A and B are shown apart, each in its own frame.
With several copies, the nearest count.
Chain A
Amino acid sequence: MFKKILIANRGEIAVRIIRACKEMGIETVAVYSDVDRKALHVQMADEAYLLGLAPPLESYLNIDKIIEVTGKSKAEAIHPGYGFLAENYLFSKRCEDEKITFIGPNSKALRLVGDKLESRKTMTQVKIPIIPGMQMKGGNLKDFEEQAEKIGYPVMLKASAGGGGKGMRIIRSKEDLKSSVEAGMREAKSAFGDESVYLEKCVERPRHIEFQVLADNYGNAVHLFERECSIQRRHQKIIEETPSTALTPGLRAEMGKTAVKVIQTANYNNAGTVEFLLDENGKYYFLEVNARIQVEHPITEMVTGVDLVKSQIKIASGEKLPFSQEVLSQRGHAIECRIYAEDPENDFLPSFGKILFVNEPSGPGIRNDSGLYSGIEVAMHYDPILAKLICWGENRESARNRAVQALSDYAILGIKTQVNYLKDLLSHPEFAAGNTRTDFIPKNMSDWKEKMSREELKETALIAAAIQSMDETSTKGKMIEAAGFDPWISLGKWEIGA
């Protein structure tokens, strides 16, 4: 097993990986950009190194610098987390050349599955069902226009190199094509350092179903069942759950087998996710392989009892899979809510700045993966994800109710978040009924504004504010920004004549 691992990431996932390492007795090395000096992952690691300025290309995407720091810190392996360099085969290749273990798939498999177009080709050869669309990346605009016509609008624009909705857009008419393609390419470039994009037939009202897979370095592979990620805003997942309300045991088994076949066809190792679209007729299409630990991995951990990050590390260190498919099972139901620094009342525009105070929910069946603390600054340079609230329950209903309660306790003061939006979404009768398709949000939440209950909560808020102001004026001194959490100001009673 490794003695020391470098985590080439930030935020909640870096924190989660560091925790796993500590429990395994592995030393950890954190890296950070200058705006992340006070980030939680930096505090928690045994060592931490500054990479550079905030822009990703100068820090978390800076391969040379990261390799240099790995050498300096004598780390034997690198865990890339998700996003940033996680699915960059050039980086994993570089690690291989430098004799550093990349905790993820081998660079050949990574290159194949990372190239959405290549993998589409390969998979058709072994009869994996795929969505009709371009077999190669688009060149000039004319090229895209022709292809779009051929496939027929609406079409889906996708980044060949990446996932997570980056660069992704539905294009409904020729007029939108130019700006969409250009913006998509820019987003793809800044997110993955590769601007290639392509078009696919847009499957209407699908469910997004993905299967978690683990494969060791000896050809053994198992799936850990599905995650349904149909609740998306602008192709960005915001709520995930498992099991899916749409799968019968039969369909689950069949899709699971297909997922394992995809992985083995690609000679893929370590943890991966095979994404499918499930259409209204129960027909499923292979979409792509996400060659990384995913944001939503905790819901799988909670229902299967398998620690995916520890499994990644063990597999990377050469261990065999400790279990076979038969012993794996799902218990209960888990739901993840992604908490973003966004303003749901203002078209979900990103919100950043200082978090004055945080109260994170806790209790039985509640897991909260976050990198937050009172006083932390949310930087504008990175993904707006702040935390992940994962709730487990004996069944879907109890998990859902638990999540609603937990969100009610999730206070993040100072910036805007979509906590109350998530709360209303989970409480929506259509969600409660399990009618979750990728059009859920346009269909059920487009007219969203705060519930009626709000009026009464408003009153409570006003009362609280007034009473606190009253008490403040009756004691000396006035509350200041980030009461009690501004590091540069010591707290104190103002003694007269002191």
Chain B
Amino acid sequence: MEFEFNLEDKLYKITIEKKGEVYFVDLGNSKKEVKVQTISPNCLSLSIDGHNQTAYLADAENKKFVFVQGEQFIIQEKESAKVRKKEDEAGLIDGKQLVFAPMPGRILKILVSEGEKVRKKQSLAIVEAMKMEHEIKSALDGIVKKVNFKENQMVDTEEPIMELEQEK
């Protein structure tokens, strides 16, 4: 059986064959012999080449959260791995810059309005979550083309709060 997983923007091909109790896992660069005890739907006890490891797992939509020794990994199946439109070094997408909220939250203040000129490092908006404030600053000198939100609206990290255009 073959799987294609996406983990931290890297694609991994994994081939597994089960013979009796043993899973033969091929990770491309390395092969492992694995025995498994399913402790609960959220816990697997693995013996990888004779070395024990406990993994905690949980599923959400098309993601798998996997915890091993203090670290959580978020694994997506290839087809469902989402990619945001490619940005260039300056973080521009065809000369425009989309300003995203750093995290979901409530927009406390919108400090600029459409058409306004902004300088690099100028504060554009303030987003609040969990009683902490986060100032969003401009990464360029330019003009505010479009503001998609009002103050006190909730925002996630997928929808741009506003669009800036670089000064020609």
Which residues of chain A have a CB within 8 Å of any CB of chain B?
37-38, 42-48, 56, 166, 179, 183, 186-187, 190-191, 341, 343, 346-347, 349-352, 354, 356-357, 359, 373-375, 380-384, 407-414, 416-417, 419-420, 423, 450, 453-454, 457-471, 473, 479-485, 487-488, 490-491
Contacts and interface: CB of A to CB of B under 8 A. Distances in A.
Interface stretch (B25-33, B84-92, B112-120, B158-166): B25-33
Contacts of A413: 42, 56-58, 65, 67, 72
Interface in B81-138: 102-106, 108, 123, 126, 128-135
A491 B48 CA distance: 26
Given A46-B52, A356-B65, A423-B70, A350 B40 contact: no
Contacts of B32: 459, 463
27 contacts: A42-B37, A43-B39, A47-B51, A47-B52, A48-B47, A346-B102, A349-B103, A352-B129, A375-B39, A380-B129, A408-B69, A411-B72, A413-B42, A419-B71, A457-B73, A460-B46, A461-B7, A461-B75, A465-B3, A465-B75, A466-B3, A467-B16, A469-B77, A470-B16, A479-B59, A482-B60, A488-B38
A251 to B, nearest CB: 35
Contacts of B52: 42-48
A460 B55 contact: yes
Given A374-B40, A466-B16, A44 B102 contact: no
A463 B18 contact: no
Nearest to B25: A463
A467 B44 contact: yes
B130 A383 contact: yes
A411 B68 CA distance: 8
Given A43-B52, A465-B57, A487 B41 contact: yes
B66 A461 contact: yes
Contacts of A382: 130-131
Given A458-B7, A482-B60, A487-B38, A464 B50 contact: no
A384 B133 CA distance: 13
Which 6 residue pairs of A and B lie closest in terms of their CB atoms, listed nearest first?
A487-B38, A356-B58, A464-B55, A411-B67, A411-B56, A349-B103
Nearest to B133: A183
B60 A462 contact: no
B34, B41, B128 — most chain A CB neighbours (10 Å) = B41
Given A43-B45, A350-B130, A407-B70, A414 B34 contact: no
Contact of B105 (A380, A409, A487): A380
Contacts of B38: 471, 487-488
B54 A458 contact: no
A351 B72 CA distance: 14
Contacts of B126: 183
Contacts of B67: 359, 411-413
Contacts of A409: 70
A179 B123 contact: yes
A483 B42 contact: yes
A69 to B, nearest CB: 12
Nearest to B71: A420
A420 B55 CA distance: 15
Task: Give the secondary structure class of A's interface.
Answer: mixed
Nearest to A190: B131
Nearest to B105: A380
B139 interface: no
Given A380-B104, A480-B59, A463 B42 contact: no
A383 B132 CA distance: 8
B64 A465 contact: yes
Given A38-B39, A383-B130, 13 more contacts: A190-B131, A356-B65, A357-B57, A380-B130, A383-B131, A413-B58, A420-B70, A454-B71, A461-B73, A463-B48, A464-B57, A467-B25, A485-B41
Given A349-B102, A468-B64, A357 B131 contact: no
A417 B68 CA distance: 14
Contacts of B25: 463, 466-467
A37 B21 CA distance: 12
A483 B5 CA distance: 20
A257 B29 CA distance: 63
A343 B129 CA distance: 13
B130 A38 contact: no
A359 B43 contact: yes
A375 B43 CA distance: 11
Contacts of A347: 102
Contacts of A450: 71
A357 B71 contact: no
A482 B61 CA distance: 10
Nearest to A488: B38
A492 to B, nearest CB: 10
A145 B102 CA distance: 31
A485 B40 CA distance: 5
Contact of B18 (A56, A352, A470, A490): A470
Contacts of B106: 380
A356 B60 contact: yes
Contacts of A416: 72
Contacts of A488: 38
B135 A183 contact: yes
A343, A356, A382, A490 — most chain B CB neighbours (10 Å) = A356
A350 B69 CA distance: 22
B104 A359 contact: no
